[in-house]
Amino acid sequence: MTKIAFYGSSLLSSYWNGAATYYRGLIRQLAKLGYQVTFYEPNVYDRQKHRDMVPPTWCKVVVYEGTREALKEAAAEAREADVVVKASGVGFEDEALMDHVLSAARPDALKIYWDVDAPATLAQLGQEPDHPLHGQLQKVDLVLTYGGGDPVVYGYRTFGARACVPIYNALDPDTHRPVRPDDRFAADLAFLGNRLPDREARVETFFLDAAAKLPDAAFLLGGSGWCDKPMPANVRYIGHVSTRDHNCFNVTPKAVLNISRASMAANGYSPATRVFEAAGAGACLITDAWTGLELFLKEGEEVLSARDGQDVADAVASLTPAQAAEIGRRARARIMRDHTYAHRAAEVHRIITSHISPRQVEAAE
């Protein structure tokens, strides 16, 4: 059984941690393929106080304190693994964690850097020639990314990565699925997302401006950090929404909105987990327009796209409940056919196998 040591932000909590759904979906499916995964996460940002998942049977989770000493102890356990993964954005001493994990890993272990925000990372590498990741990339065998398409692959190869493969977000059908509507989330349009510096201006444009243009429509905002944000009177803010309520949040409004972070929108080919969560629940999704959307959903039939707040307002005003339901039905069918985490895990399995097999041959010789 192939052992994976995975160092990431958090598997147990989605609090200020948008990657949780991605990690859960992938690792659960990798476990079904026979991998033994241990996930290491630091106890920071109050995530352990806001757990929305109990430790699963399909993955061992090790929570270590946010101290240098605890970090070193957790990193040292990488020596037991056949595959060692260090994700971006762990949230505590990322650069030191990368160094310690790479140092602890066995020479024959497959070493992977998994970037869950590749466009932003590549921009940082371009601006900071002395960033530690430049040197660390020379010590990893492979870069996997949350998405990004050819622009991200080219960027990482330019900075010296031996190989780079995007592993896109997807749907976990057991977690995100159609449910009964819930009046708590009733609205004409709902948006769920934390308040982040490279998203806020786009939320103003695509969501708040659209709300201002439709004063008689009901808009719903979920996510952390928006409590002091000025909003039109027809926007109802409900704060952090637990993952256990995401299905209700998606199916209840007439439509839900996806707004990409600025770096991902500029790069393209970077669908957020929200896209697949919404489609999996059979919701009618309106998304900001970005290059590569057609790889995942067909515009006009399985998803609606918008260039600005006026486009969003026009879509909400003209959309009938019957039309919204049909778009949601088609979106779910497409995602179930082509874009589940079972599809993604099979791809990761092929990649790992193709890298590990030559090492085993070399070791036998």
> Above 80 in pLDDT, residue 351?
yes
> Above 90 in pLDDT, residue 359?
no
Residue 86: per-residue pLDDT: 98
Residue 361: per-residue pLDDT: 40
Q: Which helix (H) or strand (E) holds 328?
A: helix 321-338
282 burial type by CB count under 10 A (0-12 exposed, 13-18 middle, 19+ buried): buried
Rounded average pLDDT over 249-255:
98
Question: Comparing C-alpha atoms, which of 60, 144, 71 is closest to residue 104?
Answer: 71
Rounded average pLDDT over 294-300:
97
> Above 90 in pLDDT, residue 2?
yes
Confidence of residue 356 (pLDDT cuts 50, 70, 90): confident
Rounded average pLDDT over 128-150:
96
Mapped onto helix, strand or coil, the DSSP state of residue 270 is coil
Residue 319: per-residue pLDDT: 98
For residue 220 the two structure tokens come to 């719903």
Residue 276: per-residue pLDDT: 96
The pTM of this model reads: 0.91
Please tell me the distance from the alpha carbon of residue 41 to that of residue 68, in angstroms, as a whole number.
13
Rounded average pLDDT over 60-73:
98
Please tell me the distance from the alpha carbon of residue 47 to that of residue 300, in angstroms, as a whole number.
38
> Above 60 in pLDDT, residue 3?
yes
Residue 192 carries which DSSP code? E
With pLDDT > 90 as the criterion, what percentage of the chain qualifies? 92
Residue 363: per-residue pLDDT: 46
For residue 203 the two structure tokens come to 């939320």
CB-based burial, 126-142: b 16+ in 10 Å, e otherwise: eeeeeeebeebbeebbb
Confidence of residue 357 (pLDDT cuts 50, 70, 90): low
Q: How much is the mean pLDDT over the chain?
A: 95
